[in-house]
Copies of this chain bind each other. A is one copy, B any other.
């Protein structure tokens, strides 16, 4: 099988680098273009990128000349790791030019015509694309994945929601610094410290959770779940840890919840995608797990780990979850969405 040509927009940033790394050797996709700001365009990728991954840059990509983030650009699919300040305009231009834009930027996530997709949960939301393309008169399309904090949360919630109905929840996060990109958080702010604030993060978690767990009709009707998020930055490199207290439609024991998570295989459309992990939600029964340093690599960074499942004195259940914020929470999520587009025949091989 010939691999589908793809480009990466915003290829020099932290998430852009993660795209480069995760797409290296991908069975379906081949990176043919790297695009970045005007400042970098025209230069060799290996000379410009401040490479932060602990493996070398794939040699053939290091030699690519960076392109500006504009059409025309090679590649059927464009992975967007753009800053929000430019993502809207650029992504629309690409979609208009016939590209399938799979974006990690937040700009389009809450747009009513843009599906916000986690394949195991709501692959069917791709149904929005027909209306999106007709309305916008695009020959391409835009598909978004959620915020890095939302995605771990919704993957832990979805099985519970399907089995018991989630009605409300309080989530408090301890988020890794890589979520803020590079240079991102100054070391003087975070070394030996906690920053109990991440700009716009709580709003994103609350709104995106309802959309992803919502129901597709003409548009997506939000799930009627009250979400209260507290988002915090802690001195961890990779991996967002979240504590969750959740009210369900019925009384549920920790054992029942664990059984539901373990049995959960997600939507059929997601099952054969290369990036879908064997275990979507792992339940770790050790008393002090999950921990970011030890558990984020589970399922090559695509598995969400749940632990400390116990009754909640205020709601029904409480637990801790962990997900890899730059894999499952960013580049890996977008790549899985692109795989879904291919598997569903929306992008043809």
Query: Could you tell me which A residues sit within 8 Å of B by CB distance?
Result: 14, 52, 54-55, 168-170, 172, 174, 177-178, 182-197, 206, 226-228, 230, 232, 234-237, 241, 243, 245, 287-297, 307-308, 312-315, 318, 320
Contact = CB atoms under 8 A, between A and B. Distances in A.
Given A187-B187, A190-B191, A196-B308, A230 B245 contact: yes
B191 A191 contact: yes
A192 B192 contact: yes
Given A196-B320, A243-B232, A294 B237 contact: no
Nearest to A169: B314
B194 A237 contact: no
Task: Give the number of copies in the complex.
Answer: 4
B294 A54 contact: yes
Interface centre among A177, A185, A234, A307 (most CB of B within 10 A): A234
Contact of A243 (B196, B291, B313): B196
Contacts of A177: 187-188, 191
A36 B236 CA distance: 33
> 7 closest pairs, A vs B, by CB?
A172-B172, A230-B243, A183-B186, A197-B288, A228-B314, A193-B293, A187-B187
A194 B243 contact: no
A192 B192 CA distance: 7
A236 B320 CA distance: 20
